């Protein structure tokens, strides 16, 4: 791999590299092959970190997590056809979650694709990507590369962030251009993510409603965490004295043990609150789309950058359309002219009920059970997290997700990455890698055994890049649990059954990680503490009881039921 350019000529691949550097991209996640291998070499040679994966979907999950944590687009590089499609899954997921990312994919030359003549990895990628992403562009000529990169960047980060697809054809990557002419196409764009300032009327309307509320609650979503204005949000919450609830990935924006946190009182305040202020949180299925338990007479304030998010499920009495920083700034400035009129017993009653509920909840953490249940394993994990608050927690599974989320308080913003809006599985290794690379912090991924299966091979990527990531696998031998009833006429395993005796630690060993197989909470605590302290790739196989966990965890109600119970 020699220098891609001569004194007088450069290739599209070098121009693409330089264009990415002009917008500040310093990291790419991906998996190479025809036609992007040389491009990855060139980018790496020019100082862009390239994290090579075993599966494009995981590289995409890493890019998406990178985007969420840095407020700049994470970049995924894929090959044509299947690599593109594998990666597109993650780009679609990023779009749904409002994470900024750009999937750059090589694609075949246009002419045989457009005439459907059957060419190497021929697929009309741009048109396939379009309905699943925020924006999609194709670059056919090297002189258009800078424009394509800038447009992709702006689409990914500005307004509501999302996934962007950037198609770069093989001829464009290989095209040769005069060096001076190529340099003349490059520029450094200005104000890549412009502020969106809310109208003063919308701010006044919202402040009036909030100040007049008797039983208000503030609901913080991952949009609020993404905004990186933690101190301002904290100031607003504390100045108003309004209790707050944090959605899963907003946990830790304010410490979960803050005196105004009502994280365990969700049903109660849904029924009771008269004014709910949503900050970067959607009133989607995760919040019963604004119905169900919600007080039918309650009123909503919603701060969101996307005007089309307003009124999607329920009337929003006071929409504030703007970016969260500009919106909170405006509200903080307005605050002195308003007087809160909360019922004097609203906060104290929530606090005492919350305290009682948390104490009752803590009774679940019985450390002595062997074989372990999710709760006994978590009794160990939560202690280790309490003494390592700066570790980023990646979490997926069914019961492993629900129980870990409830068991582990987050103390710092953007330290929890999970399967988010779609509640999907298969984000674990990629997100852990993206989190480690983007934050430079230690990461612990707590995975159900089923969840780990979707991305397990990319544990090897953690090892090759020697990242400070510990993967903890809660093995209960199945999807939901390992005791699925066997209805097969041939004695096949039940659809939900995996392998309760699988030794995932041996898989970790294959790639040179430090591994542990633990059967008791005490050994789990030791293994996890050691692993975090080592700042090296580690894998802990946690042996659970096969009957620990229930179908679909907390969302079993979404499962269509059989007429006759199969279990
Ligand atoms: P959660 O799942 O935590 O409730 P969602 O992903 O459903 O969070 O909602 C996040 C919301 O935040 C989205 O509607 C998105 O438009 C909004 N958002 C994202 N970034 C910003 C920002 N910088 N300013 C304002 N709103 C934002
Ligand atoms: Mg399982």
DSSP one-letter string for 131-158: GGSSEEEEE-SGGGHHHHHHHHHHHHHS
- Among protein residues, the one with the nearest Cα to ligand 1's atom 5 is 281
* C-alpha torsion 462→466→472→478, nearest 10: 30
- Whole-structure pTM value: 0.97
Output the pLDDT for position 485: 84
For residue 556, pLDDT over 90 is answered with no
Say if residues 216 and 347 touch (Cβ distance below 8 Å).
no
Tokens found for residue 409: 């308080």
Average pLDDT of the segment spanning 215-240: 98
Say if residues 165 and 129 touch (Cβ distance below 8 Å).
yes
**If you measure from the C-alpha of residue 98 to the centroid of ligand 1, how many angstroms do you get, rounded to a whole number?**
7
**552 band by pLDDT with thresholds 50, 70 and 90:** confident
**If you measure from the C-alpha of residue 546 to the centroid of ligand 2, how many angstroms do you get, rounded to a whole number?**
8
In tens, the pLDDT along 153-195 reads: 999 999 999 999 999 999 999 999 999 999 999 999 999 999 9
Residue 256, CA atoms < 13 Å, CB-side half-sphere: 24
First to last CA, the chain: 59
Task: Quickly count: other Cβ atoms within 10 Å of residue 130's Cβ.
Answer: 12
**If you measure from the C-alpha of residue 475 to the centroid of ligand 2, how many angstroms do you get, rounded to a whole number?**
6
Output the pLDDT for position 188: 98
**If you measure from the C-alpha of residue 497 to the centroid of ligand 2, how many angstroms do you get, rounded to a whole number?**
9
For residue 5, pLDDT over 80 is answered with no
Q: What are the φ and ψ backbone dihedral angles of 339, each rounded to 5 degrees? A: -120, 125
**If you measure from the C-alpha of residue 484 to the centroid of ligand 1, how many angstroms do you get, rounded to a whole number?**
38
In tens, the pLDDT along 309-345 reads: 999 999 999 999 999 999 999 999 999 999 999 999 9
Pocket of ligand 1 from Cβ distances under 6 Å: 97-98, 160-161, 221-223, 226-227, 247, 249-250, 280-282, 284, 286, 304-306, 309, 323-324, 421
Q: What are the φ and ψ backbone dihedral angles of 51, each rounded to 5 degrees? A: -105, 105
For residue 77, pLDDT over 80 is answered with yes
Mutating to test ligand 1, I would choose from 196, 229, 266, 282 the residue with most ligand atoms within 8 A of its C-beta, which is: 282
- Among protein residues, the one with the nearest Cα to ligand 1's atom 22 is 323
Cis peptide before 371, with omega less than 30 degrees from 0? yes
**If you measure from the C-alpha of residue 324 to the centroid of ligand 1, how many angstroms do you get, rounded to a whole number?**
9
Q: Minimum-distance ligand to the CA of 479?
A: 2
In tens, the pLDDT along 446-485 reads: 999 999 999 999 999 999 999 999 999 999 999 999 998 8
- Mode of pairing for the β-strands spanning 514-518 and 538-543: parallel
Q: Minimum-distance ligand to the CA of 484?
A: 2
Least trusted range by pLDDT, from 145-149, 400-404, 505-509, 561-565: 561-565
Residues recorded for the chain: 567
For residue 102, pLDDT over 90 is answered with yes
The whole-angstrom separation of Cα 172 and Cα 471 is 40
- Among protein residues, the one with the nearest Cα to ligand 1's atom 24 is 323
Mutating to test ligand 1, I would choose from 73, 98, 244 the residue with most ligand atoms within 8 A of its C-beta, which is: 98
Q: Which of 451, 465, 458 is nearest to 418 (CA)?
A: 451
**If you measure from the C-alpha of residue 426 to the centroid of ligand 1, how many angstroms do you get, rounded to a whole number?**
22
- Which secondary structure element, helix H or strand E, spans residue 396, and what is its range? strand 392-396
The residues pairing with 468 across neighbouring beta strands, listed in sequence order, are none
Least trusted range by pLDDT, from 81-85, 221-225, 502-506, 550-554: 550-554
**If you measure from the C-alpha of residue 94 to the centroid of ligand 1, how many angstroms do you get, rounded to a whole number?**
12
Looking at ligand 1, which atom is closest to the CA of residue 226? 20
Tokens found for residue 224: 């609020």
For residue 401, pLDDT over 60 is answered with yes
Within its chain, how far is the Cα of 300 from the centroid? 26
Say if residues 185 and 146 touch (Cβ distance below 8 Å).
yes
Output the pLDDT for position 557: 82
- Among protein residues, the one with the nearest Cα to ligand 1's atom 11 is 280
Looking at ligand 1, which atom is closest to the CA of residue 284? 7
The whole-angstrom separation of Cα 223 and Cα 100 is 12
Looking at ligand 1, which atom is closest to the CA of residue 196? 24
In tens, the pLDDT along 359-395 reads: 999 999 988 888 999 999 999 999 999 999 999 999 9
**If you measure from the C-alpha of residue 407 to the centroid of ligand 2, how many angstroms do you get, rounded to a whole number?**
17
The whole-angstrom separation of Cα 413 and Cα 352 is 25
Average pLDDT of the segment spanning 58-78: 98
Distant-in-sequence, close-in-space partners of 449: CB < 8 Å, separation ≥ 6: 473, 474, 475, 476, 477, 478, 498, 499, 502, 504
Output the pLDDT for position 1: 53
The whole-angstrom separation of Cα 416 and Cα 406 is 12
Mean pLDDT of the chain: 96
Q: Which residue has the higher pLDDT, 196 or 5?
A: 196
The whole-angstrom separation of Cα 300 and Cα 287 is 13
Say if residues 433 and 458 touch (Cβ distance below 8 Å).
yes
Q: Minimum-distance ligand to the CA of 223?
A: 1
Per cent of the chain over pLDDT 70 is 98
Output the pLDDT for position 202: 98
Q: Minimum-distance ligand to the CA of 247?
A: 1
Q: Minimum-distance ligand to the CA of 374?
A: 2
Tokens found for residue 70: 């840095």
Tokens found for residue 173: 């990557």
- Among protein residues, the one with the nearest Cα to ligand 1's atom 3 is 221
Looking at ligand 1, which atom is closest to the CA of residue 160? 16
């Amino acid at each position: 791999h020699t220098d891609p350019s001569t004194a007088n000529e450069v290739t599209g691949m070098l121009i693409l590299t330089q264009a990415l550097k002009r917008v500040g991209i310093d990291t790419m996640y991906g998996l190479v092959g025809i036609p992007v291998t040389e491009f990855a070499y060139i980018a790496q040679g020019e100082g862009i970190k390239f994290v090579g994966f075993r599966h494009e979907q995981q590289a995409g999950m890493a890019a998406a997590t990178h985007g969420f944590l840095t407020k700049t687009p994470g970049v995924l590089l894929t090959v044509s056809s299947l690599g593109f499609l594998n990666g597109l899954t993650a780009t679609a997921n990023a779009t749904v979650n409002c994470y900024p990312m750009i999937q750059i994919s090589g694609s075949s030359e246009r002419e045989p694709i457009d005439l459907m003549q059957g060419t190497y990895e021929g697929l009309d990628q741009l048109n396939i990507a379009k309905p699943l992403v925020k924006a999609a562009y194709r670059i056919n000529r090297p002189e258009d590369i800078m424009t394509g990169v800038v447009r992709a960047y702006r689409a990914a980060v500005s307004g509501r962030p999302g996934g962007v697809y950037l198609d770069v054809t093989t001829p464009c990557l290989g095209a040769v251009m005069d060096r001076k002419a190529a340099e003349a196409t490059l520029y450094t764009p200005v104000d890549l993510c412009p502020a969106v300032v809310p109208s003063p009327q919308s701010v006044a309307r919202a402040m009036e409603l909030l100040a007049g509320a008797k039983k208000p609650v503030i609901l913080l979503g991952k949009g609020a965490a993404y905004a990186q204005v933690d101190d301002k949000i904290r100031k607003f919450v504390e100045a108003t004295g309004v209790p707050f609830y944090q959605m899963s990935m907003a946990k830790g924006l304010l410490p979960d043990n803050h005196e105004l946190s009502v994280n365990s009182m969700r049903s109660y305040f849904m029924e009771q609150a008269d004014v709910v202020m949503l900050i970067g949180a959607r009133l989607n299925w995760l919040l019963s789309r604004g119905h169900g338990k919600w007080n039918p007479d309650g009123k909503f304030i919603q701060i969101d950058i996307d005007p089309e998010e307003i009124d999607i499920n329920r009337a929003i009495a006071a929409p504030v359309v703007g970016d969260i920083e500009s919106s909170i700034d405006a509200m903080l400035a307005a605050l002195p002219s308003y007087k809160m009129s909360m019922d004097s017993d609203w906060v104290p009653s929530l606090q005492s009920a919350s305290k009682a509920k948390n104490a009752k909840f803590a009774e679940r953490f019985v450390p002595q059970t062997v074989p372990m249940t999710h709760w006994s394993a978590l009794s160990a994990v939560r202690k280790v997290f309490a003494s390592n608050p700066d570790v980023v927690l990646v979490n997926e599974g069914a019961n492993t997700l629900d129980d870990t989320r409830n068991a582990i308080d987050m103390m710092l913003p953007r330290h929890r990455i999970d399967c988010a809006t779609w509640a999907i599985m298969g984000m674990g290794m990629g997100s852990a890698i993206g989190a480690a690379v983007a934050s430079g912090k230690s990461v612990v991924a707590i995975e159900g055994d089923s969840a780990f299966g979707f991305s397990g091979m990319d544990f090897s990527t953690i090892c090759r890049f020697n990242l400070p990531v510990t993967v903890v696998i809660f093995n209960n031998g199945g999807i939901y649990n390992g005791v699925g009833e066997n209805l097969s006429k041939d004695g096949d395993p039940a659809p939900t059954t995996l392998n309760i005796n699988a030794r995932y630690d041996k898989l970790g060993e294959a790639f040179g990680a430090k591994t542990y197989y633990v059967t008791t909470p005490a050994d789990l605590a030791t293994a996890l503490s050691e692993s975090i302290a080592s700042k090296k790739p580690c894998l802990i196989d946690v042996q659970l009881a096969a009957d620990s966990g229930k179908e679909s965890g907390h969302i079993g109600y979404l499962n269509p039921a059989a007429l006759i119970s199969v279990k």
